[in-house]
A and B are shown apart, each in its own frame.
Chain A
Amino acid sequence: MSFILFLKNLLPNFLEYMFTRLRIVTFTFILLFLGIIVRLFFWQVIRGKDLSRNARLQRESGQKITAPRGNILASDATWMAARSEAWLVYASLPDVRDISKTADSLAPFFIDAENSDPGYKAKLLEEANRLKGLLQRDGVVWVPLKHSVGTGFKNNIQALSLSGIGFEQEETRAYPESSSSAHLLGFVGKNEEGGDLGYFGLEGFYNLTLSGKKGFLAQEFDARGTPILLSDKNEVSAIGGVDLLTHIVKPIQLNLEKELKEGIEKYGAVGGTAIVLNPKNGGVLAMASYPSYDPAKYFDYGDVFFKNPAVSDIFEPGSIFKVVVMAAALDADAVEIDTKCDICDKPLKVDKYEIETWNNEYSPDSTMLEVIVNSDNVGMAFVGQKLGADKLYDYLSSFGFGEKTGVDLQGEVSGKLRKKGTWNVVDLATASFGQGISATPIQIVSAVSAIANGGKLFAPQVVDELWGESWKEDIKESLIGEVISKESAEEITQMMVEAAKNGESKWTYKRGFGVAGKTGTAQIPIAGYYDKEKTIASFVGFAPYDDPEFVMLVTLREPQTSPWASETAAPLWYSIAEDLFIHFGIQPEK
């Protein structure tokens, strides 16, 4: 009982005590709670934006999606230039342990030489020193060591397990035919931002078409790199580059290059160009020039090699131009095939100059046919006088001279044509036999192609079709116009057949194949006068003359064995044509 009494007396004090403790605890919890709220306010409101941004930066990943570059295909859809996998070898400098060992191990993979090559050791040492220099750079964490390393080499380097060495995939260009068709294709270099850019040839002309468009992917990832599916995802798909299907016939192209190279060496020429066109649609079947370069290693060559002489070099065509002038004169009814030249018995005096024949032989009363067969300069001056400067200008303009042909290769230029009405008697006379006037090889072969095609002039065209991922587009042939009538074309063709058979190159003529052709030996103008020894030797022709499968121009610059086209360019033309006859199934006439 006393205990209960004790408790009864104690209880009010105890309760009071407990209530006080409760108040203290409650107050403490309220303080803590306030503290948490303050802290939450600090982190969520004051620092909220920064933390949110940092979290977003951690989660989000944005990357460009590269667009694969389009391929360049021959007419049989085999590759001429293809996109290929390659690797950038880089070094993460803080992780590289032994600089010397790393450099020495990598050097053999980066040099373009075999163990047996002379100078291999010097190249190896040079490369090892270059790599050591890169690996010893200060203030740099990441350094690229070598671009465009092949997958095989990459795997071999990987097998060495060198610390700090990594690989990044990149795209490069593969050329299955090695350095063939360099001027046609061009090459892929870099622009100012380090992106791919096509230069010259098809790579340059169709750069936008081949490049496609890069895409972009922005997505959130968790700490392990797993994509967060419910998060925001922005994707702009890359649009791949378009493939170009060309008119180029690979066997003809390879053979043309081989024969041209051999011909240049045989005749001691400084350089040369050859073009083969399809006269029915202007399609470029083959095009080659020397000296040339390797598009895979364009950086090892000087700029002078990149220009395509077939479309970028102008020259005075010489006697091959006579067929164009004669065609114009026939079409304008200024002359006929059997019109007689009454001034062809001696050299022709024009102003203060004297026009002579190439062999100083003169045939009085030569017919127009004989003028072409004998390549008579005086006879052609006669034709020019009959035609007149204005009409000659009009026809030359129609044939495409004086402006670009529009061929789809970067770097095309045009020879100049004097303005109409400014031609004097000397200009008229010299232009009639192809001197004092300039043109590019593509302009010449294009004009002769119009003769072969019954008078219809097509713009030369390399690309036939565009191939997208799921679509194809045909690039139609571009008919510029009918420059001469079909009858005139047939007449000049007959003249060219006779010129090939019985002209100065008759010794190399392939009997029975119906070749229509013309030689041209043009003097080279240097500093206002014509060089006495140096020439540009050319032969232009098509076969078979009644239904031509090809038109071809071959020019040799400064041949040393002989200055004459009949002894250099003409036999080379026929040597190439032999393979073309087989390719096109051209049978000799019975």
Chain B
Amino acid sequence: MKIKAIRNGKTGKKQPRGYRLLGITIPFYLIALVVLFGVVSIYFAVEMASTGAVLASIESEKEILVRKNQTLKGELIAKSSLSQLGVDAEDLGFLKPQNVLYLVSEESVAKLP
């Protein structure tokens, strides 16, 4: 760390100017750090706010999809009704069989040589 001395105009003696790093004083670094921190904070705050808005938008979309899903499910439930299926079948001309015939088939047996 170079310490540059300034000659006192009256006494002519050298006086230290202040601590420096790479030619820049420490307070300057501190100020720069604070400014940087401030900028970053503001940036992230804005990002969070906009992400929050995106989240709200996604939540709304999700609600819409959930509602659509529920509506479709309601339609599916109604369509799965067996009693309604019976009514529709009757309207289409299907009838319940009145007589049931049971068929007996003979078991196949290989013919002896």
A contact set with B: CB distance below 8 Å: 78-79, 82, 84-85, 151, 169, 174, 176-178, 180, 222, 224-230, 250-251, 254, 578, 582, 587-588, 590
Contact = CB atoms under 8 A, between A and B. Distances in A.
B49 interface: yes
A176 B56 contact: no
B102 A587 contact: yes
A41 to B, nearest CB: 27
A180 B55 contact: no
A590 B52 contact: no
B77 A174 contact: yes
Contacts of B8: none
B83 A177 contact: yes
B56 A226 contact: yes
Contacts of A176: 77-78, 80-84
Nearest to A68: B70
A250 B80 CA distance: 11
Nearest to B76: A79
16 contacts: A82-B73, A84-B77, A85-B67, A85-B70, A85-B71, A174-B74, A176-B77, A176-B78, A176-B80, A176-B84, A222-B52, A224-B53, A226-B56, A227-B52, A229-B48, A254-B82
A114 B71 CA distance: 24
A250 B77 contact: no
A443 to B, nearest CB: 30
Interface in B43-86: 48-49, 51-53, 55-56, 59, 67, 70-71, 73-74, 77-78, 80-84, 86
B104 interface: yes
Contact of B81 (A177, A582, A587): A177
Contacts, number: 64
Interface residues of B, number: 24
B104 A590 contact: yes
B47 to A, nearest CB: 9
A78 B82 contact: yes
Contacts of B48: 228-230
A154 to B, nearest CB: 11
A222 B51 CA distance: 13
Contacts of B100: 578, 582
A79 B77 contact: yes
Nearest to B75: A151
Given A85-B71, A222-B52, A227-B55, 6 more contacts: A78-B82, A85-B74, A151-B71, A222-B49, A226-B53, A254-B82
B95 to A, nearest CB: 14
A10 to B, nearest CB: 33
A141 to B, nearest CB: 26
A79 B80 contact: yes
B83 A180 contact: yes
Contacts of B70: 84-85
Contacts of A180: 83
Contacts of A251: 82
B65 to A, nearest CB: 13
A178 B77 CA distance: 12
A517 to B, nearest CB: 20
A84 B69 CA distance: 11
A178 B53 CA distance: 44
